[in-house]
A and B are shown apart, each in its own frame.
Chain A
Amino acid sequence: MKNWNFRLKTGVFILGIFLILGFILPLFHPGNPTEWGTYPKNLKPSSAHFFGTTNLGQDTFWLLAKSVQNSFIIGIVVAFFATVIGALLGLLAGFKGGFLDRAITLLTDSFIVIPSLPILILLGSLMKGRASLFYIALVLIIFNWPWPARQLRSMALSLSEREFINTAVFSGESTMKIIVKEIFPYVAGWSVANFVNTILVAIGSESGLAVIGMSSNEKATLGTMIYWANQHQAMLAGRWWWIGSPVIAIVLIFIALFLTMTGYQQYSALRRGK
């Protein structure tokens, strides 16, 4: 903590607040925050309902807490699997070379250039807004592993020239073992930064899909909250607490994730220098 820079501190602090809001506070709230008609409709913010209630009779504060939770779960699951798959394939490509390398590179390059949103919309449209969060996460993983794969491939290329890798190869270690035991420690710092960034991307893509009604409309996420608020003309009717709270939450979460990522990069660069 002592050597943490300003960005890392601020980012982790804001993230901490949202993680408490999403994962700890809901433990003290009985009942299902997504259920319609629990409370009177369209109450203004008050001490009983911190952020008022929605047009569907939900408490906006608890709905927001649940949405933050689900959005983070999607983000973390996608980021974890995308980073692990991307790291393994990228390192394998860079380390093995040859045909395997060319095949993986072509695949990553195509996935990077293809605009993912239209295909996500296509997938979402086939489920008519009733996709499960698991399905959305799976699709997001498919579109997010190529970035770390491409980056780590080039890192593996330069690492595989090093002496200690040759030693490992000649001492008869298996490729998988070399990648996991010898190469991975060198790229772990970068992978952490990528993990945080992918959380940002995944939450962003899910909300983007949800805003247009192509995600899991019945589940509470930050995007579906905006979707329902838009569907019920929250802005026109002046119910700013309903549409405003998820929008502001997304903005703050994204700034916090970005600060954490860049702050961590600076921090680990400094540590390497020592």
Chain B
Amino acid sequence: MGFYKFLLSRAITFVLVVFIGITTVFFVPRFLPSDPVEAMIGRMTSKSAFMEPGAVESMRKTLNESFGLQGTIVQQYFGFIKRVVFTHDFGPSLANYPTPVNELIGRALPWTMGLLLISTLISWLIGNAIGLLSGFRKEKAYSKVLEAISIALYPIPYYIFALILIMLFAYIIPIFPLSANFMGKGFSWEHIKSLLVNSALPALSIILVGTGWWVISMKTLSSGIAEEDYVHFARLKGLKERKIMTKYVLPNAALPQVTMLALQLGSIFNGALITEYLFGYPGIGTLIFGAILQSDYNLIMGTITISIIAVAGATFIIDFLYPFLDPRVRYK
């Protein structure tokens, strides 16, 4: 199968996945008994003393319009899809009216992506290095200790680990702040310093838990490859152990780890959302929770759609790059 055909089939899968995700985001709220518009009107009328029936009616109409709730459910659905796909517009944020949802997401997305990409890559590199070493030399004592540590780390959810880190480094030994507090702006030293200090704990929680997983899987892969015939042959040929490890075992063991990276991304993203909330880190996670607390439906729809597109997109890109890394895999 040719390159273009492969690309096309992957692109179709990507579109379908995003489509199913967006459809879920659209229909789920409508299956439930609460009506966001009536809830908002109820909140407003209970706060202010009196509102004329005419004013309530016109407000209902405006709200229905901004929620995209006019017409039948099918019309609403196509209206929603059309807005998202063609104008990339989620409407105004209701809690921060009239700031568009897109602008709020645009501000938060770099934070989440930055935290996620940097800490995921660091944990991938460290985990694979440790896993390779302990898989290649599995009889050594340090391999066993490292494996035991990773087994203890891996099953812990990211946000539980975040809580442990907060307890340790913000409460018992107060080196880091309990919640994020950014100072300065732009490229000033003060700003960069507060950026690093405030991102350290959330990043550390992702790095440590993530590393555990990569050590476990890399160790399994590399210890299997270390017993292959061509590794024996390399040893008989008199090659140095170090060279066998980096040139013979590493390239073959690293490849499945690339695919795994894509699959893991979804779960890391999930974990990072709660981690952000616990640290008060200004990313998509914190934005989602703020939106939920204020029943800001446009913002909820927007942030969740963006998360789905981001994860599905990352998976698609890694899938597509994979054959460039592994010459044995053709696009199929």
Contact = CB atoms under 8 A, between A and B. Distances in A.
Interface of A: 106, 109-110, 112-119, 121-123, 125-127, 200, 204, 207-208, 211-212, 214, 226, 235-236, 240, 243-244, 247, 250-251, 254-255, 257-259, 262
Interface of B: 13, 16-17, 20-21, 24-25, 28-29, 32, 34, 151-152, 154-157, 159-160, 163-164, 166-167, 171, 178, 263, 266, 269-271, 273-274, 277-278, 288-289, 292, 295, 300, 303-304, 307-308, 311-312, 315
B156 A119 contact: no
A121 B159 CA distance: 15
A123 B159 contact: no
| Chain A CB within 10 Å, residue with most, of B28, B178, B277, B292 | B292
A115 B155 contact: no
A247 B37 CA distance: 39
Given A115-B307, A207-B157, A207-B160, A121 B17 contact: no
Nearest to B167: A235
10 contacts: A114-B266, A115-B269, A118-B288, A119-B24, A121-B289, A226-B163, A247-B164, A251-B164, A254-B160, A258-B151
A97 to B, nearest CB: 18
A212 B155 contact: no
Contacts of B263: 112
Given A122-B300, A123-B28, A243-B163, 16 more contacts: A113-B17, A115-B269, A116-B270, A117-B269, A118-B288, A119-B24, A121-B304, A122-B28, A122-B29, A200-B155, A208-B271, A212-B289, A226-B163, A240-B167, A243-B167, A254-B156
Majority DSSP secondary structure for residues of A touching B: helix
Contacts of A207: 157, 160
B307 A118 contact: yes
Given A122-B304, A258-B151, A259-B151, A117 B273 contact: yes
A14 to B, nearest CB: 12
Contact of A208 (B17, B269, B270): B270
Contacts of A115: 266, 269-270, 307-308, 311
A208 B274 contact: yes
